[in-house]
Amino acid sequence: MNKLTHFTDAGRARMVDVSEKPDTKRVAIASGVLRMQVATLARIRTGSIAKGDVLTVADVGAVMAAKRTADIIPMCHSLALTGVEVVFSDVAEPDASGCVGIKVVTTANCVGQTGVEMEALCAASVALLTIYDMCKAIDRGMRIECIQLEEKRGGKSGVWKRGSSE
């Protein structure tokens, strides 16, 4: 069983000391989905949302969130990110309630002593929240689903991919 590193033996929360760890290239990929009405997705794709270009704003929000992750996750280290990529795709297959969606995949990179999983997850979360914020006037029933880590590379633990011996 893996020990929870963000707690002392006495059970107090702490920021892990990574000063003895070597710098390595770190990559993390996260994803999530925002479900919405078919008409909402159509309006996003045709650029007819009154607040502007939804996906461009969500892309910027995702990058800003990745850069500010340590400000909102209490025990997260400040990292010098070397790159953040944001990719949106349509989820055209309706779910049981007839909703389609937008999937976001975010990739965060750095060279450092600790991983970038939280940065990739924050980026995915804020991208979806930004879309929600920009479209809520026409579709308050939107819902965010499955924000999750897809893959991480680097550091002592090496490569982890969702679905391969989780």
**Catalytic residue set:** 133
- Amino acid present at 90: D
Tokens linked to 100: 């389609």
Q: Which of 34, 32, 30 is nearest to 161 (CA)?
A: 30
* Token pair for 79: 């990292």
**Collapsed DSSP state (helix, strand, coil) of residue 106:** strand
CA angle centred on 45, ends 41 and 47, rounded to 5°:
115
Write the DSSP string, 106-166: EEEEEEESS--HHHHHHHHHHHHHHHHHHHTTT-TT-EEEEEEEEEEE-STT--EETTS--
